[in-house]
Structure 1
Amino acid sequence: MYRHIFALQQVARRTISSSARRQAQNKVPEKQKLFQEDNGMPVHLKGGSADALLYRTTMALTVLGAGYVVYELVKASFPQKKD
């Protein structure tokens, strides 16, 4: 039994250690160039259409949430009439 576990450990160790490492391209200089460019656009929108969509969604949720909070405060400030 112990022999099988030891063999399994060796096989697992061999597969992990012998796997080839992928070289990832460094994209940091490209991103720095994009975000440091002076084109009059705010930095939170320089990422493209995905950033614009995320920004608009966040602002819409913020406005709706603030409106709901005001509605609940107004509703709570006036007592309900009991029949």
Structure 2
Amino acid sequence: MNRHIFALQQVARRTIGSSARRQVDNKVPQKQKAFQEDNGLPIHLKGGTADAVLYRTTMALTMLGAGYVVYELLKAAYPQKKG
């Protein structure tokens, strides 16, 4: 049991200590340029297609939720007759 734990510690130490660092490109300047250009789009849609889909989905769910709330309020205002 101890032998397995010791081996695991060695593997973990070797993986963390000897891993080569990846170079990560700095994408901030490109994002700043895209979001600051004056193309007539609102800021919440400048991210592209994914932003547009997310925005439309959020609006659809909001409208469905508001409609359901109105339906439930009307249903509660006029209770069903028993009998």
- TM-score where L is the length of structure 1: 0.88
Residue 76 (structure 1) aligns with: 76
**Structural mapping, 1:1-83, within 5 Å:** 2=2, 4=3, 5-83=5-83
**Runs of 4+ in structure 1 over 4 Å off:** none
For residue 59 of structure 1, give the secondary structure of its aligned residue in structure 2.
Answer: helix
CA offsets per residue over residues 15-70 of structure 1, 9 Å max, x none? 22111111110101100000011111101111111111111111111111100000
Structure 2, unmatched stretches of 5+, are none
Q: Root-mean-square deviation (CA), in Å? A: 1.4
TM-score normalised to structure 2 length: 0.88
Q: Percent identity?
A: 80
Matched letter for residue 15 of structure 2: T
